Amino acid sequence: MKSLCVYCGSSVGASPDYADAARLLAKAMVNDNIGLVYGGGNVGLMSVIADEVMRLGGEATGVIPKALMDKEVGHIGLTRLHIVKDMHERKALMADLSDGFVAMPGGIGTLEELFEVFTWSQLGFHDKPIALLNVNGFYDGLISFLRHVVSERFLKAEQASLLIHEATPSALVERIKTFRPQYCNKLLDPATAGKVI
């Protein structure tokens, strides 16, 4: 585990606990010599975790589309900053540079990035760990909803279990480091595809 991609909000959110958790995640990563890969922003929780990684002597790699860089939200104090063409290129490069993925509290962009890499994992396109940092129960509703999706047979329990979740950064990093993927076949069973069972 050399690098983790962290998805998080461009806002700091309503609670100071979110920024505190970002700093603790930065500390846990630097203590294990795990570099940060993130969206390259100098705003919100993105800035908090990047600044803390750099302050602690770790490496922070940002990936940001040129349109956002032009709006002066790019972080220029990073170990390295990749300026890319668009969001698609941004997400692909972030995934390529990372050995695992963590979603901290965030908005629609964070969720979109999370579900894209979760889908890729479900389909067997990668075997990297994916995790939720569930600060103050932020993701409790999502975790509950995924259980509902499993119970309604749109997702297998084995696939749902690919998504790790912990409340504290230290516990999350330990789970990520010991993650071993277990796959089941995502392909549709022709006998049941399209049928109500």
For the cut 90, the answer to whether the pLDDT of residue 116 exceeds it is yes
Q: For residue 186, tell me if it sits in a domain.
A: no
Query: How confident is the model over 12-33, as pLDDT tens digits?
Result: 999 999 999 999 999 999 999 9
How many structural domains compose the chain?
1
CA distances from residue 89 to 1, 86, 141, 166 in whole angstroms, order as listed: 23, 5, 30, 29
Q: What is the mean pLDDT of residues 163-170?
A: 97
Q: How confident is the model at residue 196, as a pLDDT?
A: 42
Confidence of residue 185 (pLDDT cuts 50, 70, 90): low
- The CATH number of the domain where 168 resides is what? 3.40.50.450
pTM for the whole structure: 0.91
Q: Report the 10 Å Cβ neighbour count for 122.
A: 20
Query: How confident is the model over 133-164, as pLDDT tens digits?
Result: 999 999 999 999 999 999 999 999 999 999 99
Q: For residue 194, tell me if it sits in a domain.
A: no
For the cut 60, the answer to whether the pLDDT of residue 197 exceeds it is no
Q: Is residue 124 within 8 Å of residue 186, measured between CB atoms?
A: yes
For the cut 50, the answer to whether the pLDDT of residue 48 exceeds it is yes
Half-sphere exposure in the Cβ direction for 100 (13 Å, CA): 25
Q: For residue 22, tell me if it sits in a domain.
A: yes
Q: For residue 190, tell me if it sits in a domain.
A: no
Range of the domain at 64: 3-177
Q: Is residue 186 within 8 Å of residue 14, measured between CB atoms?
A: no
Q: How confident is the model at residue 184, as a pLDDT?
A: 53
